[in-house]
Amino acid sequence: MVGNHEYTIQGGKSLESLIRNAAVSRHKSGVLPSENDLEHARAALPNALSTDGVGYDQTIKHIIDDLVPAFNNSSLSSNYYGFVTGGVAPAALFADNIVSTFDQNVQVHLKEHSIATDIEYNALGLLVDLLRLDRQSWHNGTFTTGATASNILGLGCGREFVLRAAAEKKGILVASVGEYGLFEVMQAAGLSGVQVLSTLPHSSLAKAAAALGIGRVNVKNVPLEGDSLQFDMRQLDTELARSDKVSIVSVSCGEVNTGRFATNGIEDMQQLRRLCDMYGAWLHVDGAFGIQCRIFDDSAEFASLKAGCEGIELADSIAGDGHKMLNVPYDCGFFLCRHGKEASNVFQNANAAYLASGATQDIQSPLNIGIENSRRFRALPVYASLLSLGRTGYQDMLQRQIRLARKIAGWLFDHTEYTVLPETSSKDELVEQTYMIVLFCAKRKNLNRELSSKINATLRMFVSGTAWQGKPACRIAIASCMVNVERDFGLVTDVLDKISAETVS
């Protein structure tokens, strides 16, 4: 029998309560699903498409009973410390449900059709305010699927800009990579490649370089000896001066292993700006999660972190994440660019008359400045969360995250069984430099080899296993809006104490 597949809109609160109840029940079990729950869910997945479908009720039951128990609690628990995951702030969650229900396609600015593009543009302005950037220069950009996509936009705009400038210097006008392609412009300009110069860049930068025809090997580290995150300005100068290449400089504003910053104050950024101007290079900032430190007022407690993202207004483009520190649901990132026209030189959806909006353009159509054409209304959760929390709400959230990280770092520093990385002899300096990530290892080799798996097997908290200077290490990244400093400190120290006590070497 063919079921009734005609849908009508139904009111009532059953949908929301079903989902919330499932979340509450999931929240009561461990941070990761048990092996049993995973096994059960895998066995419950269908082997083939059913002809008539099992129907709405059966599908919901299957999802809640079979699948949800096999999810992790990445955003439902404040003790999930993997990657930089971020939680979901309440207003953002509400808005995200609105996004799905109303399913606006935010691609063309059509004023008479929907307010969606206006809201997206407004949300971008609020975000620029939160990050203390000047609207005059920075209220220009777009929402993306994440910082990876934002890095693609940044390198794409940079590639366009630096190659055009290099070609113009040789008397070739209107040399657009977007228009003529990389090969033709490169050849006309007599160049052999584009390089991206950085220090400890996030892996997504290499992905962006690969996708844009720059190439992964052309993402190069130019670190200071003894401090792999700081730029060696002399080496940078030498690379920028090469006559066969054009360059993009990318600043790691928040390095993903340590949470530290590649620059330390306005002078560093000014020096990078000067070098980029001198050699016609593009200055990009990857601030996926680090950029959030700009939201603080002047306070001694967070001064070292604020210094790490000072001066990024001197950049040409900035990549950021929404689903990390902004605590909106996946997926959401943002891209800001000081050059109003650059993104459309690359990403315009040219020659589609049916997608054209009115002649007078106050807001650019997102499909002309980003990767996608049809797009989710991912700006609404950002809008809702910024509206609901304001600056002080976000400051409070970030403060709790940093204070917990610093408390854990200090405790680990004093611990006989653990070492905080990168190693340092000063506890005060360590605490002051700690953002919301704590990188550490166990002193005993045997314990260290299995440390992350032992921690995660408790199901009480989750950490990312990583490597630091060739040895295994663990990473606690605190990014959830649900952090409670005292409660979570008690849990983390209890887990780590018990594991070191249980493991005999």
Ligand X SMILES: *Cc1c(COP(=O)(O)O)cnc(C)c1O
Nearer to ligand X, 41 or 437 (CB): 437
In angstroms, give the least distance from the CB of 289 to ligand X.
5
Q: Which of 381, 351, 355, 380 is nearest to 366 (CA)?
A: 355
Beta strand segments in 397-500, E: 418-421, 437-442, 462-468, 471-477
CB of 82 to ligand X, least distance (A): 12
Taking the least distance from each CB to ligand X, the nearer of 202 and 273 is: 202
Using DSSP's 3-state secondary structure scheme, residue 234 falls into helix
Q: Is 147 in the site for ligand X (CB under 6 A)?
A: yes
146 binds ligand X (CB under 6 A): yes
d(CA 155, CA 249): 9
Which residue in 32, 108, 256, 408 binds ligand X (CB under 6 A)? 256
Collapsing DSSP to helix, strand or coil, 128 comes out as helix
Which lies closer to ligand X via its Cβ, residue 80 or residue 279? 80
Cβ closest to ligand X, residue 146 vs residue 156: 146
Which is nearer to ligand X, 147 or 380 (by Cβ)?
Answer: 147
Answer whether the bond into residue 422 is a cis peptide, omega within 30°. yes
Tell whether residue 84 is a contact of ligand X (CB under 6 A).
yes
Q: Which is nearer to ligand X, 175 or 256 (CB)?
A: 256
The answer to whether residue 148 forms part of the interface with ligand X (CB under 6 A) is yes
To ligand X, the closest distance from the beta carbon of 160 in angstroms equals 21
Give the residue, chosen from 202, 338, 376, 475, that forms a contact with ligand X under the rule CB under 6 A.
Answer: 202
Handedness of CA 87, 92, 95, 99 (dihedral sign): negative
Q: By CB under 6 A, how many residues form the interface with ligand X? A: 13
Residue found under tokens 């996030």: 202
Among 204, 317, 365, 458, binds ligand X (CB under 6 A): 204
- Rounded distance between C-alpha atoms, residue 341 and residue 174, angstroms: 14
Taking the complex as a whole, how short is the minimal distance between the CB of residue 477 and ligand X, in angstroms?
A: 9
Whichever of 108 and 398 has its CB closer to ligand X, that residue is: 398
Reduced to 3 states, what is the DSSP secondary structure of residue 451? Answer: helix
| Least distance CB 38 / ligand X (angstroms) | 23
Structure tokens at 58: 């059966």
Q: What are phi and psi of 388, to 5 degrees?
A: -75, -40
Question: Closest separation between CB of residue 146 and ligand X, Å?
Answer: 3
Cα-Cα-Cα-Cα dihedral of 349, 351, 352, 358, to 10°?
90
Distance of closest approach, residue 329 Cβ to ligand X, in angstroms: 12
Phi/psi for 317 (5° steps) reads -145, 155
| Residue 112 three-state SS | coil
Tokens 């979901």: give the residue.
88
Q: What is the DSSP string of 100-137?
A: HHH----SS--TTT-SHHHHHHHHHHHHHHHTT--HHH
The Cα 372–Cα 350 span in angstroms is: 13
Residue 486, Cβ density class (10 Å: 0-12 exposed, 13-18 middle, ≥19 buried): exposed
Closest residue to ligand X, based on beta-carbon distance: 146
By CB under 6 A, the residues from 424 to 453 that bind ligand X are: none
From 141-149, 191-199, 266-274, 458-466, give the range in contact with ligand X by CB under 6 A: 141-149
Quick one: which of 30, 154, 333, 366 contacts ligand X (CB under 6 A)?
333
| Contact stretch for ligand X (CB under 6 A) within 9-17, 56-64, 146-154, 164-172 | 146-154
By CB under 6 A, residue 254 contacts ligand X: yes
Closer residue to ligand X in complex, CB, 148/364 = 148
x-marked contacts with ligand X along 282-301 as a string, rule CB under 6 A: ----x-xx------------
Among residues 417, 494, 364, the alpha carbon closest in space to that of 79 is found at 494
Residue ranges in contact with ligand X by CB under 6 A: 84, 146-148, 202, 204, 254, 256, 286, 288-289, 321, 333
